[in-house]
Amino acid sequence: MADASAAPVAPIAAADPVVPPVLAPAPWVEERGAKVRITAVRTFLTAPHGCPHLVVRVETNEPGLYGLGCASDPQRVLAVRTVLDAYAGPLLIGRDPDDIEDLHRLLLNSGYWRGGSVEGNALGGIDVALWDLKAKRLGAPLYSLFGGRVRRAADAYTHVDGADPEEVADKVAAARERGFRHVRVQISVPGSDTYGTAGDTGRAAAARERRVPWDSAAYLRTVPEALRRVRELVGDEVELLHDVHERLDPRQAREFLRRVEDVGLYFLEDLLAPEDARHFARLHAASPVPLAVGELFHDPAQFVALLDGPDIDFARLRVPTLGGLTPARKLAALCELRGVRLAPHGPADVGPLAQAATLALDVSSPAFGVQEAAAFAPAVAEVYPGTVVPVGGALKPPAGPGHGVDFDEVAARRHPVPEPLAHDRWALLRAVDGSVQRP
Ligand code: GCO
Ligand code: MG
């Protein structure tokens, strides 16, 4: 029995990562006589847009040759950094960066219990950096490694919101003036928290004090009629999208779908939470409204289950969370074969490095549909030289080499992550009956 009075055992400090021994490289690496080796995997926290970005830089023994990726899970960024600093990064030291698929599998299996957003974003940051590095070594834009372009640029959608249909319609018109042909519209619901609007509990600090509940009945009563009114005001020549943000149960979702049938939506996003995904088959069969889902999926298998029918029309894949471009490309190919289009996730918590990597997929995949385009704050371009901004309602991939976006470490330090980390954004939301509401 240990002596209870003995000095307490000091916990392993975060500075003492559990560094596994560098395992032997893949058997074929020596045969190839390749000389480039990974010398470091570094992580950087910065917040030029306000939300935390976690940057991954994979460095090599070739002067000036490095790759950059984004591992940003804004709700768990410190956990992702620990996976990178203590486990995944040290496993790569001394390895040949060329064998991306082999390294992806090695990292994926190194944790034994696979999956989840924390692991996904850690692997995603490294994977995007390795693809960036490979393209740089070849002196080519990243999309050329995926078979080259099938389109000039990626059609993008921007976000507008408002307190009433008239305000929303005015903002849609302004977005069209800026060249957007696709606009996501979110409308406030009086007395209810409403995702993506000024009343969004997670978005407005003031709303946190009000602790406005989510009222699904009020949302059902208000938003379908408001969307119809917006359509009347803006006409048919603009594509309208709406994000339900997983806040309805299957019965409410069925009713909401029925009520928006004549709005002519380009897609309706996250009509159900991932936990209710088995209901998509019936909803999709019963309505012509295109359905988009996937930003919350951390495992490609979650998409595969919906592609057999298919039970969705758009896959909202989030490249960092899925584990990077290696799994995302396979998913894009499956979507192409199943007639499902890509609508990759891309608000500001997907940083410019991941956005540029996703763009390489967008312009090279025949399955592409539309790309979510973050309206980054001006400071973002200072931290990430080469940040892509929408022009004429589309995002054009940088010429490269690589994905074409860099990272300025000094500028990043001028935009530290706010303390305490606002990781509670999605823990504040409750329904009218006081129960915790899915965000
Ligand atoms: C979207 C998403 C985001 C998420 C955010 C979570 O469609 O862009 O719903 O707004 O809420 O990425 O961190
Ligand atoms: Mg969404």
- Per residue in 69-81, pLDDT (tens digit) is 999 999 999 999 9
* Ranges assigned E (strand) in 26-91: 38-46, 53-60, 66-70
Query: Which of 197-206, 347-356, 426-435 has the highest average model confidence (pLDDT)?
Result: 347-356
Confidence of residue 418 (pLDDT cuts 50, 70, 90): confident
Is the Cβ–Cβ distance between 317 and 345 less than 8 Å?
yes
What is the average per-residue pLDDT within 425-438? 89
Is the Cβ–Cβ distance between 384 and 352 less than 8 Å?
yes
Three-state DSSP at 283 gives: helix
Query: What integer pLDDT is reported at residue 203 of this predicted model?
Result: 59
Query: What integer pLDDT is reported at residue 12 of this predicted model?
Result: 43
Three-state DSSP at 157 gives: strand
> Which residue in 302, 190, 216, 128 sits closest to 198, CA to CA?
190
Active site members = 195, 245
Q: What is the pLDDT of residues 80-135, one digit of tens each?
A: 999 999 999 999 999 999 999 999 999 999 999 999 999 999 999 999 999 999 99
What is the average per-residue pLDDT within 314-323? 98
Ligand 1 within 6 A of 313 CB? no
Architecture of domain 9-141: 2-Layer Sandwich (3.30)
- What contacts 36, CB < 8 A, 6 or more positions away? 60, 61, 62, 65, 96, 97, 98, 137
The token duo for 132 is: 């960036």
Q: Is residue 206 scored above 50 in pLDDT?
A: no
Of 73-77, 174-178, 278-282, 283-287, give the lowest mean pLDDT range. Answer: 73-77
To the nearest whole number, what is the mean pLDDT of the chain? 92
Looking up tokens 């371009």 gives 381
Ligand 1 within 6 A of 243 CB? yes
Q: What is the pLDDT of residues 366-376, one digit of tens each?
A: 999 999 999 99
Instruction: Write down the domain spans for the chain.
Output: 9-141, 145-401
Is the Cβ–Cβ distance between 303 and 275 less than 8 Å?
no
3-state secondary structure 231-257: HHHHCCCCEEEEECCCCCCHHHHHHHH
Three-state DSSP at 45 gives: strand
The token duo for 67 is: 């790759």
- Atom number of ligand 1 nearest to Cα 316: 7
User: How far does residue 269's CA lie from ligand 2's centre (Å)?
Assistant: 6
User: How far does residue 191's CA lie from ligand 2's centre (Å)?
Assistant: 22
> Which residue in 108, 119, 128, 129 sits closest to 82, CA to CA?
119
Pocket test for ligand 1, best of 76, 77, 195, 243 (most atoms within 8 A of CB): 243
**Proportion of the chain above pLDDT 90, given as a percent:** 84
272: region left, alpha or beta (phi > 0 left; psi from -120 to 50 alpha): beta
Ligand 1 within 6 A of 119 CB? no
Q: Is residue 205 scored above 70 in pLDDT?
A: no
- Write the CATH number of the domain with boundaries 145-401: 3.20.20.120
Pairing of strands 267-269, 239-243: parallel
Is the Cβ–Cβ distance between 141 and 402 less than 8 Å?
yes
Q: Which residues pair with 69 in a beta bridge?
A: 56
**CA atoms within 13 A of residue 376's CA, in its CB half-sphere:** 25
Instruction: Tell the burial category of 95 from Cβ atoms under 10 Å away from its Cβ (0-12, 13-18, 19+).
Output: buried
Looking up tokens 């696709």 gives 182
What is the average per-residue pLDDT within 263-283? 98
**CA atoms within 13 A of residue 44's CA, in its CB half-sphere:** 25
Length of the chain: 439
User: How far does residue 312's CA lie from ligand 2's centre (Å)?
Assistant: 15
What is the average per-residue pLDDT within 160-176? 98
Is the Cβ–Cβ distance between 24 and 10 less than 8 Å?
no
Instruction: Tell the burial category of 221 from Cβ atoms under 10 Å away from its Cβ (0-12, 13-18, 19+).
Output: middle
Instruction: Tell the burial category of 431 from Cβ atoms under 10 Å away from its Cβ (0-12, 13-18, 19+).
Output: middle
What is the average per-residue pLDDT within 399-413? 95
Looking up tokens 């471009």 gives 325
Continuous H helices in 181-242: 205-210, 216-234
Is the Cβ–Cβ distance between 132 and 145 less than 8 Å?
no
Amino acid at 104: H
For atom 10 of ligand 1, the residue with the nearest CA is 347
- Backbone φ and ψ of 239, nearest 5°: -85, 125
Ligand 1 within 6 A of 74 CB? yes
d(CA 403, CA 138): 12
pTM for this one?
Answer: 0.93
